[in-house]
Amino acid sequence: MPHKIGFVVVSSSGHEDGFSARELMIHAPTVSGWRSPRFCQFPQEIVLQMVERCRIRKLQLLAHQYMISSKIEFYISESLPEYFAPYQAERFRRLGYVSLCDNKKTGCKARELKSVYVDAVGQFLKLIFHQNHANKYNIYNQVALVAINIIGDPADFSDESNTASREKLIDHYLGHNSEDPALEGTYARRSDYISPLDDLAFDMYQDPEVAQIIRKLDERKQEAVQKERYDYAKKLKQAIADLQKVGERLGRYEVEKRCAVEKEDYDLAKEKKQQMEQYRAEVYEQLELHSLLDAELVAGAYSKTWSYREDALLALYKKLMEMPVGTPKEDLKNTLRASIFLIRRAIKDIVTSVFQASLKLLKMIITQYIPKHKLSKLETAHCVERTIPILLTRTGDSSARLRVTAANFIQEMALFKEVKSLQIIPSYLVQPLKANSSVHLAMSQMGLLARLLKDLGTGSSGFTIDNVMKFSVSSLEHRVYEVRETAVRIILDMYRQHQASILEYLPPDDSNTRKNILYKTIFEGFAKIDGRPTDAEMRARRKAATEEAEKQKKEEIKALQGQLAALKEIQAEVQEKESDAVKPKNQDIQGGKAAPAEALGIPDEHYLDNLCIFCGERSESFTEEGLDLHYWKHCLMLTRCDHCKQVVEISSLTEHLLTECDKKDGFGKCYRCSEAVFKEELPRHIKNKECNPAKPEKLANRCPLCHENFSPGEEAWKAHLMSLAGCTMNLRKTHILQKAPALQPGKSSAVAASGPSGSKAGSKIPTPKGGLSKSSSRTHARR
């Protein structure tokens, strides 16, 4: 019996973008079909390959409303010609042509459906399109074909001739004329009968889902006729007639919705979609549910009162539980599918109690109803596949209670032994997140994925390293922080299980990648899992090591200072026992400066006794306590820091304020005068440019008291700080000069001469216990 023959498009001479010849392989109300390129050269051609070698009985063409070819030629071949397959020399054989109307009578608003009856055997069909009909709408001189349908028989049907002759013989004895139009198509089993369901008009104007239902009902009708169940066949015939009207209406809604979308009239598109859903639900309710479930039960499920809807689900629950074991499989399956239809509707319900009743019913069907009646896994798969998309949508609900309930049920259902082996739910959870999806929906999907990964793992569960990692890495770019954070946790959990296999899905671990805080967190997490220190831990360890080294250094310095103090005490005891110590003579009282050791006759081993290592003054009062008092109050080379009260050398006062003082954070260095200035005053100090510029250290010393530059060298500091013509801001020198009479010229030279010897002697004396700073001891050591 002739039937619709499937085909694929082998080649075409060209097409406009978005209107490929492959569109001809689909028959639906919304297909666009094929269009030639703009301003193309004619003729244009398309080559089709049928799924099998067949005898073509009928060709149907649906032309475009204004891109109309003036003539279409048909060629057939057993195989492709030599320009497709070089080793095949066979050419296409011409079958003939059809002319198409220019469509001016309809104003180019209707489409012409052309049917051509042929009788040709082959597997390849070529269509050649000639010059288009000119009209005001076809401004680019294109030709188009919306759809093509091929109807025929398998070419290897050997009993075809015998069957035809046998039917003619029967018609002869019954007195029937085979050409009688009244009898045409009345016997569906005759060899030349073509089902109206195989007609191109059926698919092009019917909703695809309804068309499939009609075909199944038609098959059952033929079976009922064979079994002589005529009442049942009559019901099926009426259902098919009703569904054809429904399918045409739904197809019209679909076309109107698509036109609205193309015009960007989204309100109208939404309205058409809602009309389709409502009308489809009403029709299915009438045609299917009433025949399988009680009318009262279905009415309750569709009631506007939420309590009736809940009661209907509970009644259905009770009915399914009480189904006897011996019920025919077909009835069990039909009842199950009708129940799933109601459950899908109830899952969308905004009332919590109705929603929970639907989940209770669904759980019972999967875990009790199907195992009890020993239905196949196909029924379980049907239940899951029809409900899981809606359940996932409810995890993005505005109600937190509904979100949690839906997510928990999905996790529970995924762990059912009947569902776990199907691996359906994991495949839904690793679908990429849509950019326009709600925040709650994205967060719920990520949370479900993380929880089920721990429960199911990646071994024969539907989760694989590939699909989980691709999903997680893409989720790192999501706009919601919680989604990105969960993706990081999933990646770290995957790394704990699979280690190196995870790294190939991530960018290389380098400084550029670590600029992204998420990847930095991921790679530091990897380091913790491997037991390696992270960058932060490495920095902390280096800092701790540096602090420990500084602490040890301070302790070593403190110990050395203690040892030096002990040596000094031993030296003092030796001095007390020596009775022949020589007292220093010719001491300058006003200046308090000591003469050279050779001139005074003091032995070298006692020269450092009673001597200030900084200013070179010698005095009987310079015992250990006396020296401390001298350093603290009187030494002209030292001063007390006003901020930490530490005694420091005047020459290193600036360095002390910047690096050692307790208040060092409050000072900054002026690049112009090189002195320490309060940070609050530093901008104004630099801006005013009133300070005396400092000279390079090799060319001049810089006094922090009087802010003057003077000659370089260590001895120049003594001359500047202790002489009368030196620093005018040394308060200790001013105080001494006010108390004592002016120095005589002869004695002042002695003071100047004592400087170098004092400096040399000072290099052999340990740092005193008078509270000198580290900078003082370092400066003295350099001398």
Can the peptide bond before residue 196 be classed as cis, meaning omega within 30 degrees of 0?
A: no
Residue 121's pLDDT is 92
DSSP string, 406-436: HHHHHHHHHTSHHHHTTTHHHHHHTSPPPTT
Provide, for the chain, the percentages of residues in helix, strand and coil under a 3-state DSSP scheme, each rounded to the nearest 5: 55, 10, 35
Q: Where in the chain is the domain with CATH 2.60.120.260?
A: 3-165
Residue 607's pLDDT is 59
User: Which residues lie across from 60 on neighbouring strands?
Assistant: 115, 149
Chain mean pLDDT for the chain: 80
Q: Give phi and psi for 10, each to the nearest 5.
A: -85, -45
- Give the torsion through C-alpha atoms of 189, 190, 191, 192, to 10 deg: -120
Report how far residue 54's alpha carbon sits from residue 453's, in angstroms, rounded to the nearest whole number: 52
Joined together, the tokens standing for residue 665 give 């954070």
Percent pLDDT > 70 in the chain is 81
Q: Taking residues 417-431, report their average pLDDT.
A: 90
Does the pLDDT value for residue 11 go beyond 80? yes
pLDDT band, residue 215 (cuts 50/70/90): confident
pLDDT, greater one: 782 or 101: 101
Does the pLDDT value for residue 220 go beyond 70? yes
Joined together, the tokens standing for residue 433 give 């997140």
Q: By mean pLDDT, which of 297-311, 352-366, 517-531, 550-564 is the weakest? A: 550-564
Report how far residue 602's alpha carbon sits from residue 757's, in angstroms, rounded to the nearest whole number: 13
Residue 518's pLDDT is 86
Q: By mean pLDDT, which of 160-174, 296-310, 553-567, 733-747 is the weakest? A: 160-174
Report how far residue 584's alpha carbon sits from residue 572's, in angstroms, rounded to the nearest whole number: 17
Instruction: Count CB atoms within 10 A of the CB of residue 152.
Output: 24
Residue 656 in contact with residue 648, Cβ under 8 Å?
A: yes
Does the pLDDT value for residue 177 go beyond 70? no
Thinking of the domain 3-165, which architecture would CATH place it in? Sandwich (2.60)
Q: Taking residues 206-215, report their average pLDDT.
A: 85
Residue 763's pLDDT is 32
Instruction: Count CB atoms within 10 A of the CB of residue 379.
Output: 21
- CA neighbor of 34 nearest in space, from 22, 47, 50, 49: 22
Residue 340 in contact with residue 387, Cβ under 8 Å?
A: yes
Does the pLDDT value for residue 347 go beyond 90? yes
What digits encode the pLDDT tens for the residues 490-505? 999 888 888 778 888 8
Does the pLDDT value for residue 560 go beyond 80? no
Report how far residue 222's alpha carbon sits from residue 659's, in angstroms, rounded to the nearest whole number: 103
Instruction: Count CB atoms within 10 A of the CB of residue 259.
Output: 14
Residue 312's pLDDT is 92
Residue 761's pLDDT is 32
User: Which residues lie across from 618 on neighbouring strands?
Assistant: 611
The contacts found for 593-600 with CB under 8 angstroms, 24 or more apart, are 593/617, 593/618, 593/750, 593/751, 593/754, 593/758, 594/618, 594/754, 594/757, 594/758, 595/750, 595/753, 595/754, 596/753, 596/754, 596/757, 597/757, 597/761
Report how far residue 751's alpha carbon sits from residue 636's, in angstroms, rounded to the nearest whole number: 13
Q: By mean pLDDT, which of 150-164, 308-322, 391-405, 582-596 is the weakest? A: 582-596
Residues 6+ apart with CB under 8 A from 749: none
Percent pLDDT > 90 in the chain is 31
Q: Taking residues 639-661, report their average pLDDT.
A: 90
DSSP string, 564-611: HHHHHHHHHHHHHH-TTPPPP-S--TTT--PPPHHHHT--GGGTTTTB
Residue 206's pLDDT is 86
pLDDT band, residue 606 (cuts 50/70/90): low
Residue 124 in contact with residue 92, Cβ under 8 Å?
A: yes
Residue 626's pLDDT is 83
Q: Taking residues 741-764, report their average pLDDT.
A: 37
Give the CA radius of gyration of the chain: 52
Residue 692 in contact with residue 674, Cβ under 8 Å?
A: no
Does the pLDDT value for residue 317 go beyond 90? yes
What digits encode the pLDDT tens for the residues 274-286? 888 888 877 766 6
Joined together, the tokens standing for residue 679 give 């940070």
Residue 708, exposed/middle/buried by CB under 10 A (0-12, 13-18, 19+)? middle
Give how far Cα 626 sits from Cα of 219, 545, 574, 610, 621, Å: 124, 41, 19, 9, 6
DSSP string, 294-342: -HHHHHHHT-SSHHHHHHHHHHHHHHHHT--TTS-HHHHHHHHHHHHHH
Residue 186's pLDDT is 42
Residues in the chain, overall count = 783
Residue 505, exposed/middle/buried by CB under 10 A (0-12, 13-18, 19+)? middle
